[in-house]
Chain A
Amino acid sequence: MENESPSLAPDSPQLPPGASLPNVPAGFAPRADLGKLQASADAIRRELGKVIVGQQTLLDLLLTAILADGHVLLEGVPGVAKTLTAKLLARTLAIPFSRIQFTPDLMPSDVLGTSVFRPNQAEFEFRPGPIFASVVLIDEINRAPAKTQSALFEVMEERHITQDGTTYPMQEPFLVLATQNPIEQEGTYRLPEAQLDRFLFKINVGYPTTAEEVAILQGHHAGFGGTPLEAVNPILSAADIQGLRQQVRHQHVEPKLLEYIAQLVGSTRAHKALYLGASPRASLALLNGAKALSALRGRDFVTPEDVQFLAPAVLRHRILLTPEREMEGVSPDDVVKQIIQQLEVPR
């Protein structure tokens, strides 16, 4: 499971019970009104909470990705509600949704679409594939071969596809939620680095705690396990999402924090434990993610905590360990954590 990060939010676990403080210090008026954004996020959390037990960090990261206009790769062992979470999240957004089950025999045209000949008009007509939706759930993404994976390069980054010389733009918002299982090796293909780099976050979905698992069992025992999708209501329309994203783009970032992000990502390129560091696209992802997260936390500016909280999710799939470190059992998260611990926080 994602590490819970200490936070200065009003309900911070470090504060004694009943000691919650307003999110804005008395007498300080923020520049932006984030009320609607926070209310929408809370409503989505409530809707998802009807079905999903726990996984608060997962939900926070998913909401951050929606606001930051980024794609998400969910990785976890089978049975930890990766697909269910993605489907439920799509349901809270009143926008077109499609699901693609990736299989070893899937072809690029099965994803993107294909041109069919119309004898009556004596011309080819493009039949859009399932990628033409606002939220696309790609289940078991690592089961399709590289040929099919590379079909996603253009659409994930440039938000359009090119078929027979014609470019077809995707409708906004466009969000890819992909799932993969890290354990199984048989019949799977490692995702190309170029494709991994196109995911804003890679979220490790872990096991629930014992208390959470008991709550899951209680819900199931009470009969709430048949059709959970029905219980979730849509909250945000496409226009709402666009409006919130526009607001997030105007979040304030102190110049020293930009340097901090650049140093953090740059450190991965010179780290002895890494064979491949993160690209400047990672810096952009970290910046955009931190802006969205700070808005979700009720601030109109970014703090180092926002950057640190997101750094593992942004970097873990963009860096490659050296074989020696991999053999020693070092994980990308360990390296990111070490970099964070050695980097001076701008203050």
Chain B
Amino acid sequence: MQRRGGVLLLLAMLGSVLAAVPLAAQSVPPSTPVAVAPHVPLRRPTAAHLQDLRSQHELQYETDPVPQASVWDLFWYRVQRWLGRTLNGSVYQHGGRYVVYGAFLVAFAFIVLRLLKVDLTSAFGRNPQRMPLAYTTEGEDIHAVDFPSRIAEAESAGDYRLAVRLGFLSVLKQLTDRGLLTWRPEKTNADYLAELPAGPLPVAFRAVAQQFEYAWYGELPLTAAHYTLVREARAALLQLLTTRAA
């Protein structure tokens, strides 16, 4: 009973759908093409504009633009041509390629060493370059100083401190001239003392150096009596040098 009712309900729904289709078809009139678009005026460029466009380089489609070759391009062109000839040539095929491989290997090694900042100067028997300092040291060349006159000037002016300094520098010059030490502005008195040969000379030099240090670095107020002692010590050292030379 229940099954029959379901079938009747399905048939009723189908019937209503079929009845509705012609009604929907009748409600729309048959479509006919209608020209609804308004008139569009075509824009045409002027002759002058067209001529202008035709003359533009980018709009030349018929022929490929020929780039202007620079000197650099010509150089590379020639290099490439030379490489091509070489690599295809008989010399390259008969061992020349190993030269090329070697050149590439050397270039690669050079780049790696440069990146690692390896200093190779010592490999060629030369000492590595010293790292420069950011400042300049202006030294006083003891070989260019007229010591006798400058010492006399300082003595007459009563500037014993300066006289002691000049006297000590003159001693360094004389020791250098005799090859007993090597004068350099960076050396200390202890360095010079270490350079002197054993014997009475280091003792005499040390006495002079000590007086210089007390006068120059210690800035002790010097009297004429002090300066007499300094002159005596310096004379004793020079006497030793004279004796040694004799």
**Does residue A272 face the partner (Cβ distance < 8 Å to B)?**
yes
Say yes or no: A16-B199 contact (C-beta < 8 A), given A252-B219, A267-B133, A267-B134.
yes
Q: Which residues of A contact B117 (CB under 8 A)?
A: 324
Q: Which of B152-211 contact A (CB under 8 A)?
A: 165, 169, 185-191, 193-194, 196, 198-199, 202-203, 206-207, 209-211
Interface size class of B (residues with CB under 8 A): 35 or more
Write the B46-89 contact mask toward A (1 if CB under 8 angstroms, else 0). 00000000000000000000000000000000000000000000
Are B186 and A24 interface neighbours, CB within 8 A? no
Q: Are B217 and A254 in contact (CB under 8 A)?
A: yes
> By the criterion CB–CB under 8 Å, are A270 and B133 in contact?
yes
Q: Which of A305-347 contact B (CB under 8 A)?
A: 305, 308, 324, 327-328, 338-345, 347
Asked if B108 CB lies within 8 Å of chain A CBs, one says: no
Chain A at the B interface: SS class: loop
A248 CA to B205 CA, complexed, in Å: 28
Interchain CB contact (< 8 A) of A300 among B130, B137, B218: B218
Interface check A27, CB cutoff 8 A:
yes
A28/B186 in contact, CB under 8 A: no
Q: How far is the CB of B123 from chain A (nearest CB, A)?
A: 14
In Å, the complex CA distance between A269 and B133 comes to 10
Residues of A within 8 A of B225 (CB): 27
Q: Which residue of A lies closest to B134 (CB)?
A: A270
CB contact list, B94-137 vs A, under 8 A: 116-118, 130-135, 137
With contacts A16-B203, A272-B131 known, is A31 near B220, CB below 8 A?
yes
Give 1 or 0 for each of A21-37: 1 = CB within 8 Å of chain B CB.
Answer: 10011111111000000
When A14-B193, A19-B202 are in contact, do A25 and B211 touch as well, CB less than 8 Å? yes
Bound: A259/B191 CA distance, A: 21
Interface centre among B135, B211, B217 (most CB of A within 10 A): B217
Contact A14 B202 (CB under 8 A): yes
Cβ–Cβ contact A324 & B116, under 8 A: yes
Could you mark each residue 219-255 of chain A with 1 if its beta carbon is under 8 Å from any beta carbon of chain B, else 0? 0000000000000000000000000000000001010
Apart from A303-B189, A342-B133, A342-B137, what 9 extra A-B contacts exist at CB < 8 Å? Answer: A6-B193, A7-B190, A14-B193, A21-B203, A267-B135, A270-B134, A271-B133, A338-B130, A344-B138
15 contacts between A and B (CB under 8 A): A6-B188, A16-B199, A16-B203, A21-B207, A25-B210, A29-B220, A271-B133, A301-B217, A301-B219, A305-B189, A324-B117, A328-B118, A342-B133, A344-B139, A345-B187
